[in-house]
Structure 1
Amino acid sequence: MELLLKHFEEMVQTEKDVEELKQKILDLAIRGKLVPQNKNEMLALKQLENEEKLSEKVLQITEKPFDLPSNWTWVHMGDIMNIGSSKRVRQADWRNSGIPFYRAREIVKLSKNGFVDNELFISKDHYLKLKDTFGVPMKNDLMVTGVGTIGVTYVVKEPDEFYYKDASVLCFSNIYNINPEFVKLFMHSNFAKNQITKDAMGTTVSTLTIKRAKNLAFPLPPFNEQNRIVNRVNQLFAICDQLHTQIELEKQSSDKFNTNLFSRIQDASNPSQKEDLAFAIEHMDDLCQTKEDVDLLRQSLLSLAVQGKLVKQDPNDEPTSVLLENIEGEKERLVVEGKIRKPKKLHDITAEEEPYELPQGWEWIRLGTISNKIHYGYTASAKDTDTGTKLLRISDIQKNKVNWNTVPYCDIDDDNYKKNSLQERDILIARTGGTIGKSFLIENILYPSVFASYLIRVQLNKTLNEKFFKYFLESSLYWNQLKSSSKGTGQPNVNATSLSKLITPLPPLKEQARIVNKIEQIFDKCDALEHNIELKSNYVVKFRNSVLNGLTDNKKLHEDY
């Protein structure tokens, strides 16, 4: 146990780690590996038999879920608890005051907080009649939720006076005075939860019936050891709760600082944006303790990129006015050659539409103006059989990557293939589903491929740097425009027309390249930091398991004394 206490703080990094550590402690507790055994302590069943408390011989479980210490016994919960439910109370008998009437939701609150602001009551006379006729929960009985979050357990206290809803809540009448807190910690262990929430075939169930509760396999320690286990768990859980509070406070402080810092970086009106970003990059190892923090840093970087504040402007760069003339000339040539349709004229951008002031040499432009084509994909059924043409779908794009080996095939004629075949530099945008609005840049095509109809393709003018505009499509500037067009639904409005109307900043061509290079340099550092965060998290888990496994295998703990 000294080993566990010595390394307690090293075994947790997040609030989730604390909860997982608690479960590990419960697992050790119900396996007889948390406190020493005393060889002089009699089996609990034997003690009950000697005291002639058992009404009949208890049948021990023959198929043991796991090995127990020599003076522990596997029993069914129904062998040591009288498990039942209540007499039905009609809704007409509910009152606004009187004796509390608990449903599953109240038991959950009682288990967590030790108290509950109750809404339902029954009259005192009704309660006394139920008590005299059917009985009511008594001190050290256990109330267990049978619906909702099933298996949550509350130990009845001395002054408690209440009744409960039938089927919604079960009562484990503690007829043999088993330590109720030990039973509660068992009920909250993963071993018990798995028994409660899964049937014999492994199917998830939504209710805990009396029959299933009675059949729960329960590891029964000697009575004195039950007390020692409960005391030790309470001791360790108190330390866990302190760590949880400490981690929560540190996280709140860190979140507050990071949110403030990254908000300032993204604020176009902040005159210290560049200095704030330089500070964040210099101290990114300390600031970014989670992957969410790294994402905030990435978003801050992209905000400065599309505001023209990430790299210096060069007055020698070819102005965007020339770039726009070249784009217009290229589109006119493609129209004449019949490769694209004559584009519809888009509305000029008004001053009110401009999100912020751009650097000299930049211009606000609509995405449709700098795109040769924005259109939907090909409708076809996916096939496993190799037809010679792959069909790229939304579901094939995961975390900005495609595993081309798993992309299915489709049947397609030459005309549709010509219209929808993927080309290098294409940008695909999801127009529906859970990834709506997310984009993917086509690079290194390995197979003849087309894209499915739930994707929209943006084909930029060939003179532009496609990676700059891919980063624009990941920035808050892009996402804020999508959300503003959601028309109150909360779901971004993504279609070919809405995409063509998006407002995007257009820097000089050479500056686009400098911005992309700068982003990629810092994103490489972000990737490395994310990798280190994951390694650290995995190390904490492995270290925790190593310490607990060492505790499990520590023979000294289990030596009889």
Structure 2
Amino acid sequence: MKAEDLKNSILQLAMEGKLVPQDHNDEPASVLLERIREEKEKLIKEKKIRRNNKESFIFRKNGHFYEKVGKKGEPVCIDEEIPFDIPDSWEWIRINTLREVYTGNSINKTEKETKFTGLTEGYNYIATKDVKFDNSIDYDNGVKIPKDLEKFRVAPKGSVLLCIEGGSAGRKIGILNQDVCFGNKLACFKTFNENNNFLFYYLQSPNFKEIFKSKKTGIIGGVGIAKLRNVLMPIPPLKEQKRIINKLHDLIPKINEYGIYKESFDILNSEFPDKLKSSILQEAIQGKLVPQDPNDEPASVLLERIKDEKERLIKEKKIKRNRNESFIYKKNGHFYEKIGKKGEPVCIDEEIPFEIPSSWQWCRLNTICTKITDGSHNPPPKKDFGIPVLSVKNINQNEIDFNSIYRFTDDEGFNKENPRTNICKGDIILGIVGSIGEVAIYKSDKKVIAQRSVAIIKTEIYNYFLASVFESILFKKYAKTYSKGTAQRGLYLKTLKEFLVPVPPLNEQKRIVSLLEDIFYLL
């Protein structure tokens, strides 16, 4: 369960009288409300507040709830308004019964900066931005209102501020620890009770949130003061309020702490399979996943065969000779690279990312491939159906997702592009623009061409092993370092061809891939 859901459940239990037990020795809420009415009458006589001629009085009779509005009003059954049952010692009231609900004063930017910023004395002025989502209030915002400016309404210490307009309406709420002036998008809930925590928690309850949401109006969303004053609220006996508050004070911090741990755990849980997969792939391409077999033909022999195969293809004019062919070898504990027939050996120790078994070899990607090209930079006119045109967006979980292909070409377009790419079953399709590193083995007999966002790679080593290398941290770091572009980064073919690949013996490549498939199936 999410922390927010748990908090809502507990707050709702509290508002229904189910969080702490009732005590029959408690003075009932009806007596508390009677004292509030007497206190109001006293303040009216002292001309400190005005009489509300539409004062609400809610009472039970024969198992039903009735409301009488004003002295001359007739009792009306309000059973349909009552959202849930409450204990017999509790009462329902309109929020306005508690005392007063009112908004503050707006200040325009110029006035705020010229008249009320940088003052050393006065009431701190609280705007919506100063009430935080964690219920804290920022008093030190640099804006103060002189105490002799009577036009500004004051929210007294202990009262509750609630945002009632804008994107934060109904979600930002706090209890004041000092007298303040405040903005017109905030409502002050001022009561006769010194401890307003029960009201504070009620305004966070699911019941209030639902009511608030239903009363929102306007483009930016807000609830007027008149509607707020008319909201129903359950009132427990005063002593029970204190027990509820103490219980919530104890539970809410623990729920918030749980939320932090839950969020961290959820992130860890969602990232764990990918991180574990990356770690396993890294172990695999470093020769640490499966044991080496001394009977395996070493990678050096495999590379020699690839070299011979390339010579054959060159003679048959199926591929062109690479005058800058790379040859990497180890001598006296150091790695050297010779480029082309006339190149001088250069130590490349700084390029070697990690140690590999003695039966493995380092080589450039181009050394082990007979084809590395990209898709069309100027694809043929788009058709609604026909021969698919692949892009990196069509690689999904190491497969080509033909259902996601939205671009097609006709035979003319295919015949124009295919001689260069010639995508065949077994080729590696690698994302090199945008989602760099997305990789799949082409397993279909369908005719296709590709867009420039993918590279088409025909390799002479085990294609599934090379695809695993492209999924590894080794390639991701390489791509991140050497890709170019701002809006959409891309890896140039020349750079791709220079990528250093750790090459195991062929039999070991197959054992590695087999074990990776078994492990990833479980993930």
Structures share a fold, TM > 0.5? Answer: yes
User: SS state of the match for residue 132, structure 2?
Assistant: helix
Give distance in 2, aligned partners of 1:445 and 1:208: 54
Give distance in 1, aligned partners of 2:446 and 2:186: 61
For residues 193-238 of structure 1, the C-alpha deviation after alignment (integer angstroms, 9 at most, x for no partner) is: 677789979x9x7x55464x76569862332269847843652563
For structure 1, which runs of at least 5 residues remain unmatched after alignment? 1-11, 256-287, 528-561
Q: Which position in structure 2 is the counterpart of 1:82?
A: 101
* Aligned partner letter, 1:170: L
| Among 136, 161, 185, the residue aligned to 1:143 | 161
Q: Residue 395 of structure 1: CA displacement?
A: 3.7
Q: Which has the higher helix share?
A: 1
Give distance in 2, aligned partners of 1:439 and 1:403: 12
For residues 375-424 of structure 1, the C-alpha deviation after alignment (integer angstroms, 9 at most, x for no partner) is: 333446876x5x23334444444444555434335233231463556533
Q: Residue 524 of structure 1: CA displacement?
A: 3.2
* 1:370–1:234 CA distance, 2 compared to 1 (3 A): farther
Whichever of the two has the greater Rg, that structure is 2
> Is 2:324 aligned against 1:306?
no
| Among 19, 24, 39, the residue aligned to 2:9 | 24
> Is 2:163 aligned against 1:107?
no
Q: Which position in structure 1 is the counterpart of 2:436?
A: 437
* 1:522–1:432 CA distance, 2 compared to 1 (3 A): same
Contact 1:98 1:121 in 2 (8 A): no
> Is 2:472 aligned against 1:475?
yes
Give distance in 2, aligned partners of 1:394 and 1:107: 46
Choose between structure 1 and 2 for higher RCO, CA contacts under 8 A separated by at least 6 residues.
Answer: 1
Q: Which position in structure 2 is the counterpart of 1:222?
A: 234
| 1:103-502 alignment, distance < 5 Å | 103-108=127-132, 111-112=135-136, 116=138, 118-122=140-144, 126-130=145-149, 132-145=150-163, 146=165, 149-150=168-169, 151-157=171-177, 160-164=178-182, 166=183, 169-174=185-190, 180-189=196-205, 209=222, 211=224, 215=227, 220-224=232-236, 228=240, 231-232=243-244, 235-236=247-248, 238-239=250-251, 241-242=253-254, 245=257, 290-334=269-313, 340=319, 342-343=321-322, 345=324, 349=337, 350-378=348-376, 379=379, 385=384, 387-401=385-399, 403-412=401-410, 413-416=413-416, 418=418, 419=420, 422-433=423-434, 436-445=435-444, 448-453=447-452, 455-461=453-459, 463-485=460-482, 494-502=491-499
* 1:210–1:21 CA distance, 2 compared to 1 (3 A): closer
Per the normalisation by structure 1, the TM-score is 0.65
* 1:224–1:188 CA distance, 2 compared to 1 (3 A): closer
Contact 1:18 1:240 in 2 (8 A): no
Contact 2:388 2:407 in 1 (8 A): yes
* Aligned partner letter, 1:388: G
Contact 1:109 1:116 in 2 (8 A): no
User: SS state of the match for residue 426, structure 2?
Assistant: coil
What is the aligned-residue RMSD (CA, Å)? 4.8
Contact 1:155 1:184 in 2 (8 A): yes
* Aligned partner letter, 2:113: Q
| Among 68, 73, 76, the residue aligned to 2:84 | 68
Contact 1:426 1:457 in 2 (8 A): no
* 1:57–1:240 CA distance, 2 compared to 1 (3 A): closer
User: SS state of the match for residue 284, structure 2?
Assistant: helix
* 1:74–1:521 CA distance, 2 compared to 1 (3 A): farther
Contact 2:93 2:234 in 1 (8 A): no
* 1:156–1:456 CA distance, 2 compared to 1 (3 A): same
Give distance in 2, aligned partners of 1:492 and 1:178: 61
* 1:401–1:182 CA distance, 2 compared to 1 (3 A): farther
Q: Which has the higher strand share?
A: 2
Give distance in 2, aligned partners of 1:226 and 1:401: 65
User: SS state of the match for residue 371, structure 2?
Assistant: strand
User: SS state of the match for residue 221, structure 1?
Assistant: strand
Q: Residue 353 of structure 1: CA displacement?
A: 0.7
Contact 1:393 1:452 in 2 (8 A): yes
Contact 2:370 2:458 in 1 (8 A): yes
* Aligned partner letter, 1:309: K
* 1:191–1:250 CA distance, 2 compared to 1 (3 A): closer
Q: Residue 468 of structure 1: CA displacement?
A: 1.3
| 1:483-522 alignment, distance < 5 Å | 483-485=480-482, 494-522=491-519
* Aligned partner letter, 1:82: V
Q: Sequence identity of aligned pairs in percent? A: 24
For structure 2, which runs of at least 5 residues remain unmatched after alignment? 42-50, 57-68, 70-75, 328-336, 338-347
* 1:333–1:235 CA distance, 2 compared to 1 (3 A): farther
